[in-house]
A and B are shown apart, each in its own frame.
Chain A
Amino acid sequence: MAKQNLLPKLFEPLAIAVLLALFIIPTLTVINLSPITRELKKTNVLGVTDSTQNIVVTKVGGIHDIFQNEELEKQDDTEYIYSTDIMKREGKKAYSKPIMTIKNTGTTEATLSFYGYTDSTTKSSHTLKIDKDSYNLTDTNKILLKPGEEKVIYLYTESQSSILFNEKLNIVLYL
């Protein structure tokens, strides 16, 4: 009895599947290639989203004799500007006030950097106090926030001589 070649019959269902794939694959590819609109995620070189979105900055506020007209403005997702009027004050005295709270709500460590400047050239020393550390505002400083950590930022000002006019202080925070 002659042997029957079953190979073509076995290939037939496979060929039908290939034929279907020839129609389905281009259709799905064309749909997938159609671009969409989306906001650009800020990602680092490793493709991990930075934790900048996870830092919450809030103003403490309240009434103070020296620090008045406090404002905290969000410039964009990565930049905040805190401004206050430092009123005329006596020399050789230090004044301080809690001005902001920063909280890392993310699951990774986050770094926050800041610097400050005034609209006058007095010899006052303006520093930020966070926990036990002091940061001079004339330099750019960095703070590391652990996941879930919350810190209160104190503004501290001191001068040897009396200041007889009001000063405007700005602090720029980069998330």
Chain B
Amino acid sequence: MSKLLRRILKISVWPAVLMIAGKLFGIIIANIVYKLDFFIDNQIEGIFSIQLYYTDSNTTILVNSISNLFMIIILAVPTIYSIIKTAIYESTFQNPRTIVKVTKLNIMNWITKDDTSFLLIFIWCSFLLVASLIVVAQTIQGINYSWIGIIAGVLAIFSIWGTIKTYEIEIDKIYPREKELY
């Protein structure tokens, strides 16, 4: 088994677990905070055999929206952190001002070790993109609040942009831009 595949598998476990955990945690929180009654039913039709349901459509939308919000936040926070960290790390090589700002903000540990790679950001962004697309699709179907759908849409665009930007940074390491050399 190749090292790359092994590394991808290792990185993919956490976002996969957090995606499910975020959704589940959101449902539990919504049920506790709003003191809701939910029902679990088994059905023999469709793909899924077990389905969670509520008797009121407003409650369904509320629980779905809160759980979706939790899910995308849980995925977005580490993704955004990795992208910002990589951007700052790369910026310190080219711009001394960044080092001064980083020192002032007391986040020197962000740039002392390059433990974020393109692969890590790419996988986290992929999971964030999948989660965001599910939320956007559910917003179009009318089972999610529109403002959460907008947030998910923005995050989907951001995750694509973040992946491209990190890819550019990685490419620049191998093939530096001409204007910076001459």
For residue B27, which residues in chain A have a CB less than 8 angstroms away from its CB?
33, 35
Count: A-B pairs, CB below 8 Å: 89
Bound-state CA distance A11–B9 (Å) is 13
A-chain residues with CB within 8 Å of residue B174 when the two chains form the complex:
none
A36 interface residue per 8 A CB criterion: yes
Q: Which residues of A contact B41 (CB under 8 A)?
A: 38, 41
Cβ of B178 within 8 Å of any chain A Cβ, yes or no, is no
Please give, as numbers and ranges, the residues of chain A lying within 8 Å of B143 by CB-CB distance.
34
- On chain A, the residues within 8 Å of B12 by CB distance are 19, 22-23
Given A15, A31, A34, A35, which contacts B5 in the complex, CB threshold below 8 Å?
Answer: A15
- Contact A30 to B23, CB < 8 A, known contacts A8-B1, A19-B8, A23-B16: yes
Q: Is the interface of B mostly helix, strand, loop or mixed?
A: helix
Please tell me if B98 contacts chain A, counting CB pairs below 8 Å. Answer: no
Type the 1/0 row for B1-41, where 1 means its CB is closer than 8 Å to any CB of A: 11001101100110011011001100100000000001101
- The complex places the Cα of A53 from the Cα of B167 at a distance, in Å, of 62
A12 and B9 in contact (CB under 8 A), knowing A26-B127, A32-B51, A34-B143?
no
Which residues of A lie under 8 Å from residue B47 when comparing CB positions? 28, 32
Q: B2: which of A12, A29, A34 is its contact (CB, 8 Å)?
A: A12
Do A30 and B19 touch (CB < 8 A)? yes
A36 contact from B5, B60, B68, B127, Cβ within 8 A: B60
Distance A27 CA – B51 CA, assembled complex (angstroms): 15
Q: Which A residues fall within an 8 A CB radius of B?
A: 8, 11-12, 15-16, 18-19, 22-23, 25-41
Can you list the 8 inter-chain pairs with the closest CB atoms, starting with the nearest?
A: A26-B19, A37-B57, A22-B12, A32-B48, A37-B60, A35-B52, A38-B53, A26-B16
